[in-house]
C-alpha cells in the first residue's frame, strides 16, 4: 500500500482528497493535517468520514515525511512553495494543488499572483498535471503541479482544436462561472451566504490569475491565441460551467468539429463529448471526475460555441490530483475516482 499524506486536509480540496483516498484500494492514508491542531480525529471533524481513525494534526513536516511516501499539498497559493522543497528533498512524490508551480516562469507567477516565487529550482521541475495533455510526462515525474479549476475547464475544451492546429480567427471569449467552494473554506464578507445565495456576479474581470495560467499553457502549445477570460460567481456550492466563443473559419462543418472532438477524446476516461444537440450541465458532473463538453456551430457567423462543465473540487482539484497519483504510481487511472 502507498503511504499518503494530505497537507491541508481541513480545507475544501483536502476534505475531498481524504474522502476519496480512504477508499482507494492501493492507498493507506497515514498523515492528515491542517494549519492548527483541532485535537480531533478527522472523522469527528467531518462526520461523513465515519470509521476513519486518523488524528488531524497541526502541520509538522517531519512527521509527514516520516509517515508517508506520497504527499498531496492542498495549501493556499504562496504557502505550498514554502513547504514543497522539504518533501522533494526527502525524495517524496508530491502533487501540489495550489497555483505555485503551474507556470514554470517566475515572472509570469509574479504577474499573476503579485508575489515573488521562493522556489525557482523546483518551479522548473514540476510537470503540469493535465493528464489529457501531459500523461507521459506525468508518468515519469515525481512532482506535479495540479492545474487550476478554471484552466481545467477551459483547456479541456480547447485541446482538440490545439491538436489540429486550429486557431480562432479573432478573440476567443472564455465566459466562466464557478460555485463558491472555488474560493476555499476561509470566511470572507463577499462569500457569506446572504451575499452569494440568489445572486450572480462577475469578479476579477480581466485580472484573474487563471488568465495567466491559461495563456501560459496555450503558449507552451505554440498557440498564440488572443483571448479574454471572465469569471463569475454562481450561487452554488460546487461546479464550473465555462462557455467558450471561438470564431473559426468557414471550412469547418458542425459534423467535422464534432468528429474532431469525439476522436480526440475517444480513449479518455474522464472527458465526455456529448452527442450533437446536447449541452453540459453542472448537476451531471457534480461529485464526479468528469468533464462534459458540448459543441454548437453557427456557419453564417463562423462561430463555434463550446460549453464545458466540471466539478471544481473533483476534476478541478482533488479528483485530478488522484488521477495524477494513479498515473505516477502505475495504478489503474480511475482508482478512487468512481
Ligand atoms: N477550492 C477549489 O475549488 C480549488 C480548485 C483547484 C485548486 N485549488 C487550490 O487548492 C489549494 C487549496 O484550496 P482549498 O479551497 O482547499 O483551500 P482552503 O479550503 O482554504 O484550505 C486550505 C488548507 O490549508 C491549510 N493551511 C493554510 N495555511 C497553512 C499553513 N501555513 N501551513 C499549513 N497548512 C495551512 C488550512 O488549514 P486550517 O484549516 O487549519 O487553516 C486548510 O487545511 C489552494 O491553493 C487553491 O488555489 C482550489
Q: pLDDT tens across 197-228, in order?
A: 999 999 999 999 999 999 999 999 999 899 99
Say how far apart CA 124 and CA 321 lie, in whole Å: 19
Q: Could you tell me the distance, in angstroms and rounded to a whole number, from the CA of residue 8 to the centre of ligand 1? A: 6
Residue with the smallest CA separation from ligand 1 atom 19 is 11
If one compares 50 and 84, the residue with the highest pLDDT of the two is 84
Q: What is the pLDDT of residues 92-125, one digit of tens each?
A: 999 999 999 999 999 999 999 999 999 999 999 9
pLDDT at 52 over 90: no
pLDDT, averaged across the chain:
95
How much is the average pLDDT of 298-317?
Answer: 96
Q: Which atom of ligand 1 is nearest to the CA of 80?
A: 45
Annotated catalytic residues are 149
Cβ–ligand 1 contact at 5 (below 6 Å): no
Query: Which triple of cell numbers denotes residue 143?
Result: 512532482
Question: Is any atom of ligand 1 closer than 6 Å to the C-beta of 261?
Answer: no
Give the ranges where the chain is alpha helix by DSSP (H).
12-21, 42-45, 61-67, 80-89, 106-113, 120-125, 131-139, 149-163, 193-196, 209-220, 254-264, 282-285, 319-329
Query: Using a 6 Å cutoff on CB, does residue 141 contact ligand 1?
Result: no
CA distance 177 to 157: 15
Q: In what order do the strands lie in the sheet with 291-298?
A: 201-202, 227-233, 172-178, 240-247, 303-310, 291-298, 271-273
Amino acid at each position: 500500500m502507498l503511504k499518503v499524506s494530505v497537507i491541508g486536509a481541513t480545507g475544501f480540496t483536502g476534505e475531498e482528497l481524504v474522502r476519496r483516498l480512504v477508499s482507494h484500494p492501493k492507498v493507506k492514508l497515514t498523515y492528515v493535517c491542517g494549519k492548527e491542531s483541532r485535537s480531533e480525529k478527522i472523522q469527528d471533524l467531518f462526520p461523513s468520514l465515519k470509521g476513519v481513525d486518523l488524528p488531524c494534526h497541526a502541520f509538522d513536516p517531519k512527521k509527514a515525511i516520516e509517515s508517508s511516501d506520497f504527499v498531496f499539498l492542498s495549501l493556499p497559493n504562496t504557502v505550498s512553495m514554502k513547504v514543497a522543497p522539504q518533501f522533494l528533498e526527502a525524495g517524496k512524490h508530491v502533487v501540489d494543488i495550489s497555483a505555485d508551480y503551474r507556470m514554470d516562469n517566475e515572472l509570469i507567477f509574479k504577474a499573476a499572483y503579485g508575489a515573488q516565487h521562493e522556489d525557482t529550482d523546483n518551479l522548473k521541475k514540476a510537470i503540469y498535471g493535465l493528464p489529457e495533455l501531459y500523461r507521459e510526462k506525468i508518468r515519469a515525474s515525481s512532482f506535479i503541479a495540479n492545474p487550476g479549476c478554471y484552466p481545467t475547464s477551459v483547456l479541456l475544451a480547447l485541446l482538440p482544436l490545439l491538436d489540429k492546429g486550429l486557431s480562432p480567427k479573432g478573440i476567443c471569449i472564455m465566459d466562466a462561472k464557478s460555485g463558491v467552494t472555488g474560493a476555499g473554506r476561509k470566511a470572507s464578507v463577499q462569500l457569506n451566504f446572504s451575499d452569494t445565495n440568489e445572486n450572480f456576479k462577475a469578479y476579477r474581470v480581466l485580472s484573474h490569475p487563471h488568465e495567466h495560467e491559461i495563456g501560459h499553457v496555450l503558449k507552451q502549445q505554440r498557440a498564440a491565441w488572443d483571448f479574454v477570460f471572465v469569471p463569475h460567481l454562481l450561487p452554488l456550492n460546487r461546479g464550473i460551467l465555462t462557455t467558450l466563443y471561438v470564431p473559426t473559419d468557414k471550412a469547418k462543418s458542425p459534423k467535422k468539429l464534432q468528429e474532431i472532438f469525439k476522436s480526440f477524446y475517444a480513449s479518455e476516461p474522464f472527458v465526455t463529448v456529448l452527442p450533437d444537440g446536447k449541452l453540459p450541465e453542472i448537476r451531471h458532473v457534480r461529485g464526479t471526475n468528469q468533464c462534459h463538453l458540448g459543441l454548437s456551430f453557427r456557419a453564417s457567423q463562423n462561430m463555434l460555441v463550446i460549453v464545458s462543465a466540471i466539478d471544481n473540487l473533483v476534476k478541478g482539484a482533488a479528483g485530478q490530483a488522484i488521477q495524477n497519483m494513479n498515473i505516477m504510481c502505475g495504478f489503474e487511472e480511475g482508482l478512487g475516482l468512481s
